[in-house]
């Protein structure tokens, strides 16, 4: 279980996140919604150790992780899949997967891990030798997720996996996230596509300028008038406005 308590984080004098409390339970999909600049990515970067929190604590299964370097956090099973299809374009598909395996000690398990990923993404098998930079946008996004899975995450931090990909790919990614959860891995999902996120999230937080504005079960938030109006584009029945 991941817990954030009173976390303040950001870049220099600018605070991205203020006094954030957040919990991701075992096997849960938790969505983090909000507009650009609301602090969603900052939250993920703080959890994965790329950004240091200025105050507050982050615990993972009871152990404090907010002072650990990023590579040790990965080794603990918290794996970040950063936004913007951050793959390694100059490496082949297989080399990208190998990089996902980088932090694992059980080197002999590589073959099994790769087979598992090829099971989830069958197209990758035939194209393992292709330069990752020549994949389509949606394929690159899937490769980024596959690479994160190679690290054997217990908690997957997914940053905007549906950003800029075709609707069909969004559906595919949604299915993959559900598969990931089914295999017992928790997911913290940052999304601007609130409709997709809320359709699979057990719990959701809405961030507004660095603070939690709304919080509740996924289904609950889908019915929330404020969420509907601001993030789902549904006008509530209170007339114009």
Give the interface with another protein as residue ranges (CB under 8 A). Answer: 48, 50, 69-71, 73-75, 79-82, 86-91, 95, 98-100, 102-103, 121-123, 126-127, 130, 134, 136, 138-139, 142, 144, 147-148, 151, 168-169, 172
Which of 185/221 has CB closer to another protein?
Answer: 185
Which of 70/213 has CB closer to another protein?
Answer: 70
Which of 12/122 has CB closer to another protein?
Answer: 122
Task: Provide, rounded to whole angstroms, the least separation between the CB of residue 83 and another protein.
Answer: 9
Give the per-residue SS3 of the chain.
Answer: CEEEEEEEEEECCEEEEEEEEEEECCCCEEEEEECCCCCHHHHHHHHCCCCCCCEEEEEECCEECCCCCHHHHHHCCEEEECCCCCCCCCCEHHHHHHHHCCCCCCHHHHHHHHHHHHHHCCHHHHCCCCEHHHCCHHHHHHHHHHHHHHCCCCEEEEECCCCCCCHHHHHHHHHHHHHHHHCCCEEEEEECCHHHHHHHCCEEEEEECCEEEEEEEHHHHHHCHHHHHHHCCCCCCCCCC
* Cα four-point dihedral sign 116, 120, 121, 125: positive
Task: Provide, rounded to whole angstroms, the least separation between the CB of residue 132 and another protein.
Answer: 8
Which of 107/241 has CB closer to another protein?
Answer: 107
Task: Provide, rounded to whole angstroms, the least separation between the CB of residue 235 and another protein.
Answer: 31
| Backbone torsions φ then ψ of 56, nearest 5 degrees | 95, 170
Task: Provide, rounded to whole angstroms, the least separation between the CB of residue 239 and another protein.
Answer: 39
Q: Which positions ≥6 away from 115 have C-beta within 8 Å?
A: none
Task: Provide, rounded to whole angstroms, the least separation between the CB of residue 4 and another protein.
Answer: 18
Which of 128/213 has CB closer to another protein?
Answer: 128
Which of 35/102 has CB closer to another protein?
Answer: 102
Task: Provide, rounded to whole angstroms, the least separation between the CB of residue 202 and another protein.
Answer: 24
């Amino acid at each position: 279980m991941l817990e954030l308590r009173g976390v303040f984080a950001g870049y220099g004098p600018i605070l991205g996140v203020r006094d954030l409390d957040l919990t991701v339970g075992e096997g849960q999909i938790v969505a983090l919604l909000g507009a650009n600049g609301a602090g969603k990515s900052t939250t993920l970067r703080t959890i994965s150790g790329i950004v240091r929190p200025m105050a507050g604590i982050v615990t993972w299964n009871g152990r404090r992780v907010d002072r650990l370097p990023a590579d040790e956090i990965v080794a603990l099973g918290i794996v970040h899949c950063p936004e913007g299809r951050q793959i390694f374009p100059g490496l082949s598909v297989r080399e990208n997967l190998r990089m996902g395996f980088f932090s694992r000690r059980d080197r002999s398990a590589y073959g099994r891990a790769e087979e598992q990923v090829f099971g989830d993404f069958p197209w990758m098998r035939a194209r393992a030798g292709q330069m990752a930079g020549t994949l389509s946008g949606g394929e690159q996004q899937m490769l980024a997720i596959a690479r994160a899975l190679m690290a054997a995450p217990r908690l997957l931090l997914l940053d905007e996996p549906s950003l800029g990909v075709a609707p069909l790919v969004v559906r595919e990614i949604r299915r993959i996230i559900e598969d990931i959860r089914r295999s017992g891995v928790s997911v913290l999902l940052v999304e601007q596509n609130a409709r997709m996120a809320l359709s699979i999230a057990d719990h959701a937080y809405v961030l507004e300028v660095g603070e939690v504005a709304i919080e509740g079960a996924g289904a609950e938030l889908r019915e929330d008038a404020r969420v509907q109006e601001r993030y789902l584009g549904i006008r509530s029945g209170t007339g114009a406005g």
